Every structure is written in structure tokens, then in C-alpha cells.
A and B are shown apart, each in its own frame.
Chain A
């Protein structure tokens, strides 16, 4: 018993620093896929609300595909499937593209909901002053919509961090892949996965605190 506990702690102490490269990769994947996903999401939301039938159909198609198939399948498809059509990306790029595409679809729905929730009078007031559609969007609608989407967006960002672990299926050595390699080498399952879980918790709880601060800053103008 004592021995077990001792072994647990020594493994934790020895292996915690060895996770750094994997955690760094998780971090890189998360940040890139969140940023690109937000851009994709905003673009898709704009297209969806463009009143252009073709653009609407295009974004519907995008959202349907992404939401209707598993992320794991999407990643495997991009990395192992697309090369057959002559479209080849390295594993890191495949992972980032796949994750960003996936997040983008969900984020577009978050933005669309937020934009549609803005009182119609806001648009009318802006347009009646003589603003163009673009000015109305940029100066009046988006600032309010983005504020409203922060809580849901934060949720999606946290999911994005955890989903980055699926990149291990396409040869990316991120936190989960690295822990499996350590487990294979040491057969010491429990402490290794325990460390991995702690690292994920660290990233996600840091992120949610950051998001809470953003939310609070946005609250200034509500009485």
C-alpha cells in the first residue's frame, strides 16, 4: 500500500515535466483551431444571413456535414482519405483544418443565434441614419451580438480544447498520444493518465476564468 502510493508520487514527479511537449501541442492545436474556427464561424454566419440563396445553401451544407458526422471520422477522412483525391496535408495541418472546420460550424450557429436575437429596432435605427448594411453590421449589430455570444462561445472553446485530443488518431503527439506512449513504455497506467487529466483541467479552467473576465468586461453597459 505504502509502496503503491510512493510509486504513484514518484511517477507523477518524474513524468509531469515530460508532458510539456504534448501539452504545448494541445495548446497550439486549441489556439489555432479556436481562432480559425471563430473566423470560419463568423464568415459562415454572415453568409447564412446574407439573404443569398446560394450562400445560404452552401452554409447549410457545411453545417449539416460537420454536425452530422463524427469529428474523429472527419479528421481521419482529411488525413487518410483526401490524399486519394490528390489533396494531401501533413498531419498537423490536417488536424488544425479539421478542428477549425468543426468548431467553425458550431460557432457559426452561435453567432447566427446572437445576431438574430438583436432587436430589429437597432438595425432600423442604424439604417434610418443612413448607414450602409456593412456599417450597420460592424458598428451596431456585431458589437452587441458578440457580447451576447460570449457564454456559448466559451463553452465551444472548452469543447475545442478537449476535442484536440482526437488529433492523436492522425499521428499528432499531443497530450493524450504522449500519455499512451508513456503508458506503453512503463505499464504504469493510472498516474500517467492522471497527469494528462490534470493538464487538460489546467488548460480548460484557465480558459474558463479568462472567459468569465471577458464576460464581466462586456457587462459594463447593462445598468
Chain B
């Protein structure tokens, strides 16, 4: 589904990603963990070209993505994204936010776009908030709208950039529940997260990033119960979830 080969990313002189390789197969849930500054978010943002990589290859659905406007737009239509800070469009209602993709990008007519949007809002449990503006919604509700907005494009993969990091602790659960349901239904997901319990429960593959390289990768069992790397051990110790 997605294959990343030898990805390098520099910010000015600073090398943030030092040759990342990763594969995501269809239906897989991949969690990327690591301390802040390890390059997790940058890696995720390189996948859909929100950050331009300096070196390396990104393959999506068996095709090499070139650094051209057309290739990038095609890639983004297949790869959805959910942001840490939600980034809902404040001048549109929840329903209009979710409709926007089908309407403007997929050029569906208003009625079918509305139907699709409503179905996805219902899926994230917010059918009753369809006509509210984002400012009237809680953080958890906003993020669920953000997820519905990504799903409404019916992408092949969804990238999650720390989807619960900006939420009050009591609102984290409702967002994780929606994500778990998506995982169960076979959605391919790449998730940058600090929620170790969640990563352990839903992921098929976990990547531990440290100083711009994949320091360790494996099943949740490998990572959380049999960590090899000292850095990973101390990282898991810090987040208080070592097995």
C-alpha cells in the first residue's frame, strides 16, 4: 500500500530523518512512537508531501510518487489526514466540513455529498451535531468531525498526526474508540501517537523512532514486552507502561 525507501529530510542543516524505510500493507494499522523531536510527525507529513522530502522514494499503491503537483494531488486524494489541532474549517458546519471533500474535490453533486457526509458523521456518532459550527463543539467532537472529513474522501489510508494530543484527558477516549472501530473495519491507518495503551491494543506494526531513524520495529508484543533497544526501554519507562 505504502512503501517508503531511504527517506531523508533536512531542516536547513539539521537532519531530521536519516534514512527511513517502512512498509504499510493494506488493512494494517501502523503506530509510530518515540520521544518528541524524534521525527515522528515529520515522517508522517513527508508521506503526503506536507513536508518535502530531500531524498528517498515514496510509493503508494505500487506507484512511485514524483514531486509534481499532479502526482501530489493524486496521492493526497488517496491518503487522508487527521491533524493534532483538528484544523476544521471554522466557516463551515460539521456537515459542510465533511461534505467539502466529496463536493469540491470529487465533484459530487450536493445531494450525494450531503448523504455521504451525513453517513460518516453518523459513523463517528455526531449525526446530531451536523449543523453546528466547529466553535460550538468540544475538542473530542471536533476531532471526530476531522476523522469523518478524512473518511468522506474514502481514502485508501488515513494518516493520524497525534490525534489526541490536543485533547483534554476525558475526551481522549471517544476519539480512540472511533479509531478502534475504523481499525476493526479494516481501514489502513498510520498513527503517530503517545497513547501507548492504544498502540499496543490496535496496531499490527509499531515503529519506534529515535533521532531520525527507526530504532526498533515489530509487533506490539515485540515492542512493549520485549524491547531490545536501551532507548526504547527508557522511553517506555518514562511513559510508565513497560511490561
Using a CB–CB cutoff of 8 Å, the interface residues on chain A facing chain B are: 119, 121-122, 124-132, 135, 139-140, 143-144, 147, 220-223
B91 within 8 A of A: yes
- Complex interface: chain A residues within 8 A of B85 (CB): 121
B47-62 vs A, CB cutoff 8 Å, 1 = contact: the mask equals 0101000000000000
Query: Measured between C-beta atoms, what is the minimum distance from B41 to chain A in Å?
Result: 12
A130 in contact with B105 (CB, 8 Å)? yes
Q: How far is the CA of A122 from the CA of B135 in the complex (A)?
A: 15
CB neighbours (8 Å) of B89 from chain A are: 122, 125-126, 139-140, 144
Q: A121-B85, A221-B133, A223-B135 are in contact. Are A129 and B105 (CB under 8 A)?
A: yes
Interchain residue pairs with CB less than 8 A apart (22)? A122-B87, A124-B50, A124-B87, A125-B81, A125-B88, A125-B89, A128-B76, A128-B81, A129-B76, A129-B101, A130-B73, A130-B74, A130-B77, A130-B101, A130-B153, A135-B105, A139-B100, A144-B89, A221-B91, A221-B134, A223-B133, A223-B135
A128 touches B48 (CB 8 A): yes
CA distance A222 to B134 in the complex (A): 9
Chain A contact residues: over half helix, strand or loop, or mixed? helix
When distances are taken between beta carbons in the complex, the residues of chain A under 8 Å from B235 are: none
Q: What is the minimal beta-carbon distance from A219 to any residue of chain B, in angstroms? A: 11
Q: Report Cα–Cα, A22/B50, bound state, in Å.
A: 56
Closest-CB distance, A156 to chain B (whole angstroms): 22
Partner of A147, one of B83, B88, B91, B153: B91
C-alpha spacing A222/B136, complex, angstroms: 8
Q: What's the Cα separation between A127 and B77 when bound, in Å?
A: 10
Most chain A C-beta atoms within 10 Å of own C-beta, residue among B83, B87, B135, B149 = B87
Chain B contacts to A: CB under 8 angstroms: 48, 50, 69, 73-74, 76-77, 80-81, 83, 85, 87-92, 100-101, 104-105, 133-136, 149-150, 153
Q: In the complex, are the beta carbons of B90 and A144 less than 8 A apart?
A: yes
Question: Residue of A at shortest CB range from B136?
Answer: A223
Closest beta carbon of chain B to A109's beta carbon, Å: 23
Is A222 touching B83 in the complex (CB atoms < 8 A)?
no
With A128-B50, A129-B76, A221-B134 known, 16 other A-B pairs at CB within 8 A are A119-B87, A122-B89, A125-B83, A126-B89, A128-B81, A129-B77, A129-B100, A129-B150, A129-B153, A130-B73, A130-B77, A130-B101, A139-B100, A140-B89, A143-B91, A221-B133
